Amino acid sequence: MEQRIIISKNIGEELAKAISECEHDKLFVLTDETTHEKCWPTIGKLIRMRNAKVITIKATDSHKDVDSLAQVWQQLGEGGATRHSCMVNLGGGMVTDLGGFAASTFKRGIDFINIPTTLLAMVDASVGGKTGINFNGLKNEVGVFNDSKYVILDTEFLKTLDKENILSGYAEMLKHGLISNDKMWAQLVNFEISNPDFELLQTMVADSVEVKKNIVKKDPYENGIRKALNLGHTFGHAFESWSLKRKPILHGYAVAYGLICELYLSSVKAGFPTDKMRQTVNFIRENYGKLGITCDDYDELIELMTHDKKNTAGIINFTLLENVGKIKINQTATIEEIKDALDFFREG
């Protein structure tokens, strides 16, 4: 069954329907400490959830690890889960990634439903079948491709988020606009993100998810066009890993910073229009601030890029753009060009 994405108007009705269509003997809900406090009350009162067993893990990406995964497996086992059980992942990308991986591997796989509660999870982590955990200091190093049966998107949950987490998800939306079309890109760079209109944001989230869903459908295992979704991520993952050893930054901030570097490379190497590059870069700099790297960090960042899963035979791969919606996958850059992009990033 293809993953079904529901833009929610009534979370109670839609969740009840999704659960009833995933035949199960026992129902489990995975939350983290934050979503258990802020989001579980919204669905915990539903009749359908009355007998659900709640598993709660520690919050933040630093706990997206083997220990948390083992805790979920253990609690599924102790709770009497079988191959016919179902798990609802209620949380941000950390919960949907780890929960999806736990569900995909327990008893060789049980059904799961994602209810993303952050903007990042709505437009990125919960859609497209990527699950996994961080391992050995590297992001998403271990995981599998496996779709949730349903994804239920309700922007009401976004009202529980702080500004930084809204911005984190918005960076992935910005990426989706850049790989899609001028109209979507222009709406995103002109949206009042510091004071969001949540009703308009719901339709923008739906558009953003549609971009990702269509790309994933064409290329579920990332052999070709799905690499379009990696725009901003080669530099971004390096920034994210670099920050883990210092002061960790949110994934979307890392992607936003990565977009600055990769739009610069797109401009230099693929002819991406300078005015669009500047407009996007200015939007990012105004809203996301700076990352305090110096030229002394360049070698470490480049080393981190060489570990990226998108690489082949040790060659660093980038997704670049000729224009908005004109994607060039499997692009390379010299060490000098990468350092130039980092110089450009620091200039702002």
- CATH for 133: 3.40.50.1970
Same domain, 135 and 275: no
Specify the residue for token string 């060009």. 337
Cα-based distances in Å from 260 to 171, 207, 255, 263, 333: 11, 23, 9, 5, 15
Amino acid letter, 264: Y
In this prediction, residue 129 carries a pLDDT of: 83
Cα-based distances in Å from 202 to 106, 115, 280, 324: 34, 15, 22, 23
DSSP helix, strand, coil percent of the chain (3-state; round to 5): 55, 15, 30
Domain C-terminal end among 127, 160, 193? 160
Same domain, 278 and 322: yes
According to DSSP, the residues that pair with 221 across neighbouring strands are none
Evaluated on CA atoms 347, 317, 185, 121, the torsion sign reads negative
Please state the rounded mean pLDDT for residues 208-231: 88
Report how far residue 288's alpha carbon sits from residue 274's, in angstroms, rounded to the nearest whole number: 20
Whether 100 and 45 have beta carbons less than 8 Å apart is answered as: no
Report how far residue 279's alpha carbon sits from residue 140's, in angstroms, rounded to the nearest whole number: 31
Same domain, 230 and 327: yes
Please state the rounded mean pLDDT for residues 93-106: 96
Name the domain count of the chain.
2
Grouping H, G, I as helix, E, B as strand and the rest as coil, residue 324 is: coil
Minimum mean pLDDT among 105-119, 123-137, 175-189: which range? Answer: 123-137
Report how far residue 73's alpha carbon sits from residue 92's, in angstroms, rounded to the nearest whole number: 19
Tokens encoding 195: 């004071």
Q: Which residue did the predictor score with more confidence, 48 or 314?
A: 48
Same domain, 58 and 105: yes
In this prediction, residue 138 carries a pLDDT of: 83
Whether 76 and 29 have beta carbons less than 8 Å apart is answered as: no
Domain C-terminal end among 108, 137, 160? 160
Neighbouring CB atoms inside 10 A of 163's CB total 12
Chain segment 259-314, per-residue pLDDT in tens? 999 999 999 999 999 999 999 999 999 999 999 999 999 999 999 998 776 666 67
Whether 293 and 346 have beta carbons less than 8 Å apart is answered as: yes
In this prediction, residue 187 carries a pLDDT of: 97
Whether 321 and 258 have beta carbons less than 8 Å apart is answered as: no
| pLDDT band with cut points at 50, 70 and 90 for residue 219 | confident
Please state the rounded mean pLDDT for residues 52-66: 94
- B/e letters for 16-55, b = 16+ CB within 10 Å, e = fewer, are bebbeebebebbbbbbbebbbebbbebbeeeebbeebbbb
Q: What is the pTM of this model?
A: 0.84
Domain that holds residue 81: 4-160
Amino acid letter, 294: T
Evaluated on CA atoms 256, 260, 265, 266, the torsion sign reads positive
* Listed residue (185, 148, 151) closest to 281, CA to CA: 185
Neighbouring CB atoms inside 10 A of 303's CB total 12
Q: Which residue did the predictor score with more confidence, 219 or 299?
A: 299
Same domain, 231 and 282: yes
In this prediction, residue 177 carries a pLDDT of: 97
In this prediction, residue 313 carries a pLDDT of: 64
Distinct helix (H) and strand (E) counts, the chain: 14, 10
Same domain, 53 and 68: yes
Domain C-terminal end among 136, 160, 184? 160
Amino acid letter, 304: L
Same domain, 60 and 156: yes
Please, how many CA atoms are within 13 Å of residue 299, restricted to the half-sphere of its CB? 1
Same domain, 247 and 117: no
Report how far residue 196's alpha carbon sits from residue 39's, in angstroms, rounded to the nearest whole number: 20
Tokens encoding 16: 């009840």
| pLDDT band with cut points at 50, 70 and 90 for residue 48 | confident
Same domain, 203 and 327: yes
Same domain, 111 and 207: no
Minimum mean pLDDT among 94-108, 166-180, 212-226, 251-265: which range? Answer: 212-226
Ranges assigned E (strand) in 202-337 = 318-323, 326-331
Same domain, 156 and 18: yes
* Listed residue (87, 136, 52, 128) closest to 304, CA to CA: 136
Tokens encoding 168: 């984190």
Whether 108 and 75 have beta carbons less than 8 Å apart is answered as: no
* DSSP letter assigned to residue 155: G
Same domain, 131 and 239: no
Domain with residue 305: its CATH number is 1.20.1090.10
pLDDT at 1 over 70: no
